[in-house]
């Protein structure tokens, strides 16, 4: 019986570089108030959001991804030709096929890198990071580009008082490569499909195509149910990720949760009993909820502003539609 030759990958994997792209148009709450009955104070108190970015026609999912990915590749100190795989997490690329990852891989100038999209909502970056770690350690790619990108303005119902103010556009990317020591911890991830109705697309595309509905599909959610789930259940998942990595909360430098809502972030910090010394990402204030892009965008901003530094230990957790979640501890590039 023939024996398959074992794979020869790296001992461990790490994030080597990070990049982000935010559309040029900045949209304050005042613009949102033109279509819903609310107030700037109400939006800020309920979500922490002051502004968000909305993409122009030219700022496509692919175009934003290429900008963010180019910065991540440069930050990692490698060339695009060295990228062996491109993983793109998005729910707002409206072509079912081909995967937008293939277009991005080509425009970046990779040497025919493997390329595919995943759909895991706001947990998508964590899912992609886990896949990338596996590829590097298994040996199927030396360097993997993970991109979270959304144009959620295309899926926002501006007349829905519960969600019109939440969503923004943007792209965040990281390069994952070989490491001689652990720098991406075990992932604690999962799904709770029995709660899938709490965050969903209003109607299937087929209903819009056949004329059963005239309003373009949008994202809707049951705000209170999502809030309770995120606050109580995701704090447990975050704690499990710390324990899986063998890290105590007093050893943590940075906390980068999905930027869904600042009240959720505050509640998680309190439940986890994080020390005041821990830097907490609050990119939601000026970027809004960018789903799969929110964690890498927040990571990029913390490093750019000096609020976090290379080598810091960070807990990252994403959670959203599905309901799905993914949490891990990483060493920042």
Token code pair at residue 247:
């890290």
Token code pair at residue 331:
């060493």
> Which position among 29, 53, 93, 289 bears the catalytic label?
289
> Which position among 29, 53, 93, 258 bears the catalytic label?
258
Report yes or no: 85 and 140 within 8 Å, Cβ to Cβ.
yes
Angle at alpha carbon of residue 21, lines to 31 and 45, rounded to 5°: 40
Cα distances from 138 to residues 60, 77, 78, in angstroms, run 33, 22, 20
> Which position among 29, 93, 122, 261 bears the catalytic label?
122
Q: List b or e across 41-80, with b for residues whose CB sees 16 or more CB atoms inside 10 angstroms.
A: eebeebbbbbbbbbbeeebbbbbbbbbbbbbbbebbebeb
Residue 29 annotated in active site: no
Which residue is associated with the tokens 């913390």? 302
Residue 53 annotated in active site: no
Taking alpha carbons only, the member of 73, 191, 99, 184 closest to residue 137 is: 184
Report yes or no: 23 and 151 within 8 Å, Cβ to Cβ.
no
Neighbours of 88 (CB within 10 A): 30
Positions marked active-site: 122, 258, 289
């Amino acid at each position: 019986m023939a024996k398959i030759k074992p794979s020869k990958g790296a001992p461990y994997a790490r994030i080597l570089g990070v990049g982000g792209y935010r559309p040029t148009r900045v949209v304050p709450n005042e613009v949102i108030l033109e279509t819903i009955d609310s107030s700037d104070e109400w939006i800020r108190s309920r979500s922490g959001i002051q502004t968000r970015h909305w993409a122009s026609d030219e700022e496509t999912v692919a175009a934003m991804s290429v900008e963010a990915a180019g910065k991540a590749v440069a930050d990692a100190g490698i060339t695009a030709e060295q990228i062996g795989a491109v993983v793109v997490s998005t729910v707002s690329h409206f072509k079912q096929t081909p995967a937008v990852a293939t277009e991005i891989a080509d425009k970046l100038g990779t040497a025919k890198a493997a390329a595919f999209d995943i759909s895991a909502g706001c947990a998508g970056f964590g899912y992609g990071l886990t896949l990338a770690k596996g590829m590097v350690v298994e040996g199927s790619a030396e360097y993997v580009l993970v991109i979270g990108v959304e144009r959620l303005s295309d899926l926002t119902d501006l007349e829905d008082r519960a969600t019109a103010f939440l969503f923004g556009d943007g792209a965040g990317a990281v390069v994952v490569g070989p490491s001689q020591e652990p720098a991406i911890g075990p992932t604690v991830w999962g799904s709770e499909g029995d709660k899938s109705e709490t965050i969903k697309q209003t109607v299937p595309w087929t209903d819009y195509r056949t004329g059963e509905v005239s309003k373009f599909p949008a994202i809707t959610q049951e705000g209170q149910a999502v809030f309770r789930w995120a606050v109580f259940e995701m704090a447990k998942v975050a704690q499990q990720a710390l324990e899986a990595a063998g890290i105590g909360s007093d050893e943590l430098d940075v906390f980068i949760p999905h930027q869904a809502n600042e009240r959720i972030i505050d509640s998680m910090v309190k439940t986890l009993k994080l020390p005041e010394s821990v830097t907490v990402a609050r990119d939601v204030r000026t970027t809004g909820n960018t789903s799969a892009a929110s964690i890498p965008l927040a990571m990029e901003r913390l490093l750019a502003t000096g609020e976090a530094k290379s080598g810091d230990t960070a807990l990252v957790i994403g959670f959203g539609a599905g309901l799905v979640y993914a949490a891990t501890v990483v060493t920042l590039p």
